[in-house]
Chain A
Amino acid sequence: MRLSVQHPGTLALMAALAFVLRGSLAYAQDSSLTVRIGLTYAPGTKPGVLVLPVNGADGDSVRAILQRDLDYGDRANVIAGEAIVMDTSSDGSRGRFNYPLYARLGAAAMVQVTMTATGLHVAVHDVRTQRVERVKDFPLAAPPLSPDWRQQLHAISDAIEFWITGGRGVAATRILYSSGGRIWQVDSDGANPTALTAANPPALYPAWHPKATHMTYAVMTEDGMRVAIRELNGNGSASPRMLRAPAGSVNTSPVFSPDGETILYAHGLDNGTDLFAVPLSGNESPRRVTVSRGRDAVSPSYSPDGRRIVFATNRPGGLVLYIADADGTNAEALTPYNFGDRSQRTDPSWSSDGRLVAFQAETDGRSQIYTVSPRDGGSPRLYTNEGRNEDPSWAPDSRHLVFTSNRSGSWQLWILDTESNRVRQLTHAASGARAGAWSPRLIVH
């Protein structure tokens, strides 16, 4: 929820009401949000956060980015006040803060940012106790407004979000996706969309190395699809390493294991498609993981400890999710299959806290985003209903999902907050965007 301060009197009422509503809803869903990191606020509510104007060159950009990151984090209500109301220097009371006003605006926390020679000095104030709760100097060394500068600033947002809410944000992340046959990356706030691969051969389905040093993806050649692995070193010149594969075979949906040592991918030739694992070091041959016996298994995702996998298979007839040990043993259905059911359940993504598997399933012929518990396939929950929605990928906070939707008229990436169901559009790519993959945190303070 985003509040304006046109009428501060009514706003406080609205804010209070919103807190009560959100508090009861969120509390009913999840009591684990009872967190106290310095600041005190009701369990399960979103604290109001007010970022004071930032003086100096690019101060407005710094404030705008911090506010947007906190807003996109969905854990705080960002109070977008008019600068004059909060300008501490305008009334001659420099260095003193109008805590009663911040409280009336609905703020539980106030963020005071000062630019220094090496970066930002950040102080977080508890509005109720009128005290500074946290102070830290953060580096901000890259050229102002450059992609690196924005990432460094996003990391500061994530730290502030952690101080105030107890949950670390995912602003300092990027999302890989495919558009027009090329792999692209974009910042979590939609800035800096950048192509990483050439237009030919067409490249699809990117996935991150757990340390974000590499990506793996599929390349479409006239001799079949091949798995590629490429370094992400910033200069974009690194040529990809291609996994060997028999001529005419299909090799798709590659992912890294959580330790970064193995690539798991779907390989098919004449008689069905199975998952194969190949170690990245040495010359070992790919090892068969699934035994689909003439059926297909695709789109694997690892559990965060790397000991289990979830994947899509048509073993029972229609396409459903199966879960198995990482070596393929102890495979069992995670989602049910009813005979004759043609609604596919596919594209699973295992959250990094291990608690949920997100996937797409068809409802009335349209694919939608769901989650289930990987323990028993229980507690299914539906998140979307507008247009077609596919291919979810978890953010490292295990709370946000990036997914592909055609709700805007073309296929674009959208971001969903699974706590509030709030969505926002991430890409506006002319040739559409698909197969989003959310990075791990790129900078952590």
Chain B
Amino acid sequence: MNRTHRAIALALVAAVGVSGCRRTPETVATPTDTTVVPTETCDAACRQRTADSIAAANAERDRLAREAADRARASAIAAARNTLLATIYFDYDAFDIRGDARAALDAKLPILRANAGLQIRVAGHADERGSDQYNDALGQRRAASVRRYLTDNGIDAARIAIVSYGEQRPAMSGADENAWARNRRAEFEITAGGNNIVPPQ
């Protein structure tokens, strides 16, 4: 992409140069040709135009390069953000961290370490089965268990708020194992420092 743009920019510079300055007469004009034909090679204005066009091309190249770098950076930030916000899931009536959830939490650690100003809230949720009020407690246990995993791995507890929504905010409606499995979860939300995330090296 970058290379292609640069090639186009250079071609542009060449084209401007040819049309503006290098049109020296190679044959004698016929008397009927009343158009003014430049006789000198390139006057001051011409040189200025050349310089301007080169500067413009350079600026464009730099802008494109900057944009590309920005895009790469934004995409790294977005990836970091997605990793940080990725939901993790739990087994029925359980709040211990499963293997797949452990991997998802481990992936969040370098992002939290690289961004000391980042603060998050972990929301624990339960599926609709069983007592609503027990599910409030279970959601709390799930959120607390996530916080404990992160703090055990060196993240300051002050950066992690927790909340339980019990079974009140299902991610998926339905009364089958598929919906229940999607609803037994901990969700992540950035509460501070989300505007300047540094992707981990």
Contact A220 B134 (CB under 8 A): no
Contact A224 B147 (CB under 8 A): no
Given contacts A222-B121, A224-B164, contact A273 B137 (CB under 8 A): yes
Given contacts A225-B164, A273-B140, A296-B138, contact A367 B133 (CB under 8 A): no
Residues of B within 8 A of A218 (CB): 136
Contact B93 A266 (CB under 8 A): no
Residues of B within 8 A of A312 (CB): 131, 133-134
Query: Nearest chain-B residue to A248 (Cβ)?
Result: B162
Contact A220 B131 (CB under 8 A): no
Q: Which of A94-102, A189-197, A341-349 contacts B (4 or more CB under 8 A)?
A: A341-349
Across the A-B interface, how many residue pairs have beta carbons closer than 8 Å?
95
Contact A435 B137 (CB under 8 A): no
Contact A299 B134 (CB under 8 A): yes
Contact of A222 among B130, B136, B163 (CB under 8 A): B163
Interface residues of A in 115-129 (CB under 8 A from B): none
Query: Nearest chain-B residue to A274 (Cβ)?
Result: B137
For the complex formed, measure the closest distance between the CB of A11 and the CB atoms of chain B, giving whole angstroms. Answer: 44
Contact of B132 among A204, A222, A250 (CB under 8 A): A204
Contact of B133 among A247, A272, A347 (CB under 8 A): A347
Most buried by A among B130, B144, B148: B130
Inter-chain CA distance A271–B165, complex, in Å, is 17
Given contacts A250-B137, A250-B139, A296-B138, contact A319 B132 (CB under 8 A): no
Most buried by A among B132, B163, B166: B132
Contact B131 A319 (CB under 8 A): yes
Most buried by B among A253, A269, A390: A253
For the complex formed, measure the closest distance between the CB of A241 and the CB atoms of chain B, giving whole angstroms. Answer: 21
Contact B134 A224 (CB under 8 A): no
Contact A346 B134 (CB under 8 A): yes
Residues of B within 8 A of A344 (CB): 93, 130-131, 134
Contact A298 B137 (CB under 8 A): yes
Interface residues of A in 374-433 (CB under 8 A from B): 390-391
B168 within 8 A of A: yes
Most buried by A among B92, B130, B136, B138: B136
Query: Nearest chain-B residue to A343 (Cβ)?
Result: B130
Q: Chain A, 244-264, contact with B by CB distance < 8 Å: what is the 0/1 string?
A: 000111101100000000000
Residues of B within 8 A of A391 (CB): 131-132
A91 within 8 A of B: no
Inter-chain CA distance A177–B163, complex, in Å, is 24
Query: Nearest chain-B residue to A311 (Cβ)?
Result: B133
A270 within 8 A of B: yes
Interface residues of B in 161-180 (CB under 8 A from A): 161-166, 168
A151 within 8 A of B: no
Given contacts A296-B138, A298-B137, contact A250 B130 (CB under 8 A): no
Most buried by A among B93, B138, B164: B164
For the complex formed, measure the closest distance between the CB of B147 and the CB atoms of chain A, giving whole angstroms. Answer: 7
Residues of A within 8 A of B144 (CB): 269-271
A268 within 8 A of B: yes
Contact A299 B165 (CB under 8 A): no
Contact A248 B165 (CB under 8 A): no
Query: Nearest chain-A residue to B121 (Cβ)?
Result: A222
Residues of B within 8 A of A220 (CB): 165, 168
Residues of B within 8 A of A181 (CB): 168
For the complex formed, measure the closest distance between the CB of B143 and the CB atoms of chain A, giving whole angstroms. Answer: 8
Contact A248 B138 (CB under 8 A): no
B141 within 8 A of A: yes
A-B contact pairs, 24 of them (CB 8 A): A202-B168, A205-B132, A218-B136, A224-B162, A253-B136, A266-B137, A268-B137, A268-B141, A270-B144, A271-B144, A298-B133, A299-B131, A299-B133, A299-B134, A314-B134, A319-B131, A342-B92, A346-B130, A346-B131, A346-B133, A347-B133, A391-B132, A434-B132, A435-B132
The 8 nearest A-B residue pairs measured at CB: A346-B131, A273-B137, A250-B140, A253-B133, A296-B137, A252-B136, A298-B133, A270-B144
Given contacts A314-B134, A346-B133, A367-B130, 6 further A-B contacts (CB under 8 A): A220-B168, A222-B163, A250-B136, A298-B134, A312-B134, A344-B130
